Structure 1
């Protein structure tokens, strides 16, 4: 009885995997060329399809790619990554503020340090070593200033209610 159940489960999982897996004709890959030089080289990807034949497709060129959570662009400036991280940190800070009606300053600071600050530090660690002209510190200070403003709004609301 158990063998039949296991076989049925296995069959169900294999069917689900086959349904979710993208066929080789629909798989996509991109090329990220570093630098300003134009190249006429074409890159092809070949994959085996279900019929036993091969499917070849040309890879498209892209301006930026996301790899391990870091957005790389052609010039390796990380500008898009820094903008993404700062906007995410600002969004999370405002979500924290809207989620609570009353909370102490210590709780708010703890939430900011545990949730918002790691995102900002990840942004800082990626961009800082090579690119000082991106004003990363200014963007980090904007996130911190906005979070401090949210804390000030919390104090005003708390004192005005009684």
Structure 2
């Protein structure tokens, strides 16, 4: 969240300066940085149980939390994609789209959670599955909205320009993360 928050300022400035095309470029730069960060965080998810035991967490809790963290790996990457999308849409005052997508995902999540946890008795696996699917619905629906052309000028497709200036963008992201931390 901290690393993506730099995007809020940049997108707001680009929108105000009528440089709409930069919104898409900034969003893509943020994706590159956040997905790289998610990949770096992956060992924490993979080895959560031993890490928790190292910090003297109860063995049963560490084991359960470690198993749950493995199931939540897809959500980690969904969040890495979602945060830049939300800042991209917010800069253009497209918050109603975000609210509708979130409401649909919430209803789906509640129903799927009930089905998987209560009806099918999948417990932890059902909860994680429901969370993962709900997050990916949000990401795919919002990106679908963008890709279908509802953000003219701001989204012109994928651009190699997203890879230019990545270092300074990364430093700004890291600074934002430290500031929020």
| TM-score normalised to structure 2 length | 0.28
Higher relative contact order (Cα pairs below 8 Å, separated by 6+ residues) = 2
More helix, by proportion:
2
